[in-house]
């Protein structure tokens, strides 16, 4: 049923691609379009019809209010800024959890017709093919994806990290979609993806995909990531450890970059925004 819901949502997104017009601003660079709302409506209707007792938490609509141990986490359009700009890199993603444990996850890229999916106890798949995370074990050979996010304190930290990191890795990619970043790690297209300000609907499906593809997903301290984790590092076991060690060894440099980038006009401590949808590309 989750696959069917994702495919239906994808059809809605394709209908709106390059013609979405209604934009709601939720914060700095954080928007919702008519495509987000229409796609989420289709997903909720599909899931509610099949599982009327389950809670459904959508990025745009919030919780359905059902009291249940089962909760669906739905991001109807991850990569909204890419989508609105006509950049062909976005997806719909959803997962089912039971008391916080991820039971299944689906991420669908409708433009490429790529359906990433997995469930507890089974491998991760791209359409009908089993996928595995990269086994690269050196930073120098690694392509690393990241996103800046909407939080005005964490964003400068990520930019400072990128400035220091690019010379030590094969390349960097700013994805504009956390769900796509995690799916690409699961498929071995990138060695690692990291982010410092996320929400459950962004990452729950991707956490399961990466783990069932043989990778690991932790927070920045190395603890296993959960849907409630705000900060994640996803990649192969060796690279996850190497990356976090690299970050620890340069903590003073990162702090310096944060201080350099933060100004009174830039940082508003009371403001909290959703994850990133920007686009940035650095090649080494």
The token duo for 124 is 């991760």
Q: For residue 157, is pLDDT > 70?
A: yes
pLDDT grade for 22, boundaries at 50, 70 and 90: low
Q: Which CATH architecture has domain 143-283?
A: 3-Layer(aba) Sandwich (3.40)
Q: For residue 243, is pLDDT > 80?
A: yes
Ramachandran category for residue 270: left, alpha or beta (phi over 0 → left; psi -120 to 50 → alpha)? alpha
| Strands, sheet with 232-235, edge to edge from the N-terminal-most edge strand | 216-218, 232-235, 192-195, 143-146, 171-174, 280-283
**Percent of the residues in the chain that have a pLDDT greater than 90, as a whole number:** 62
State the average pLDDT over residues 165-170: 92
The per-residue pLDDT for 211 is 98
**Angle, vertex CA 169, rays to CA 210 and CA 202, nearest 5:** 30
Of 194, 234, 238, 237, nearest in space to 218 by CA: 234
- Comparing 18-32, 71-85, 86-100, the range with the smallest average pLDDT is 18-32
The per-residue pLDDT for 204 is 97
The per-residue pLDDT for 162 is 87
Residue 136 main-chain phi, psi, to 5 deg: -55, 135
Residue 271 main-chain phi, psi, to 5 deg: -90, 135
Residues of the chain with CATH 3.30.540.10: 2-131
Domain topology for 2-131:
Fructose-1,6-Bisphosphatase; Chain A, domain 1 (3.30.540)
Q: For residue 272, is pLDDT > 80?
A: no
Cα–Cα distances (Å) from 65 to 56, 68, 96, in that order, read 8, 9, 16
State the average pLDDT over residues 206-218: 97
Give the largest CA-CA distance in the chain.
Answer: 53
The rounded mean pLDDT for the chain is: 84
The token duo for 225 is 């990531």
pLDDT 10s digits, 213-222: 999 999 999 9
DSSP 230: S
Rounded CA separation 172/209 (Å): 21
State the average pLDDT over residues 148-152: 77
Of 9, 81, 87, nearest in space to 46 by CA: 9
Residues of the chain with CATH 3.40.190.80: 143-283
């Amino acid at each position: 049923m989750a696959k069917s819901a994702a495919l239906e949502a994808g059809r809605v997104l394709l209908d709106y691609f390059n013609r979405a017009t209604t934009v709601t601003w939720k914060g700095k660079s954080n928007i919702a379009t008519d495509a987000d709302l229409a796609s989420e409506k289709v997903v909720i209707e599909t899931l509610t019809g099949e599982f009327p007792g389950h809670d459904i938490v959508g990025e745009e609509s919030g919780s359905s209010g059902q009291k249940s141990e089962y909760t669906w986490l739905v991001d109807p359009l991850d990569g909204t800024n890419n989508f609105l700009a006509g950049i062909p890199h976005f997806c719909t993603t959803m997962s089912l959890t039971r008391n916080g444990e991820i039971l299944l996850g689906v991420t669908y890229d409708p433009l490429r017709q790529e359906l990433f999916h997995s469930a507890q106890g089974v491998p991760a798949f791209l359409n009908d093919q089993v996928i595995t995370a990269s086994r690269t074990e050196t930073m120098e050979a690694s392509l690393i994806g990241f996103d800046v996010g909407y939080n005005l304190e964490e964003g400068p930290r990520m930019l400072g990290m990128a400035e220091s990191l690019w010379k030590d890795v094969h390349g960097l990619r700013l994805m504009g979609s956390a769900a796509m970043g995690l799916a690409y790690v699961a498929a071995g297209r990138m060695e690692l993806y990291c982010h410092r300000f996320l929400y459950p609907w962004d990452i729950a499906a991707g956490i399961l995909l990466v783990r069932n593809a043989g990778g690991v997903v932790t927070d920045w301290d190395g603890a296993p990531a959960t849907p409630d984790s705000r900060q994640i590092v996803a990649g192969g076991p060796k690279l996850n450890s190497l990356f976090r060690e690299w970050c620890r060894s340069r903590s003073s440099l990162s702090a310096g970059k944060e201080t350099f980038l933060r100004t009174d006009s830039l940082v508003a401590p009371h403001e909290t925004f959703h994850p990133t949808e920007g686009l940035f590309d650095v090649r080494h």
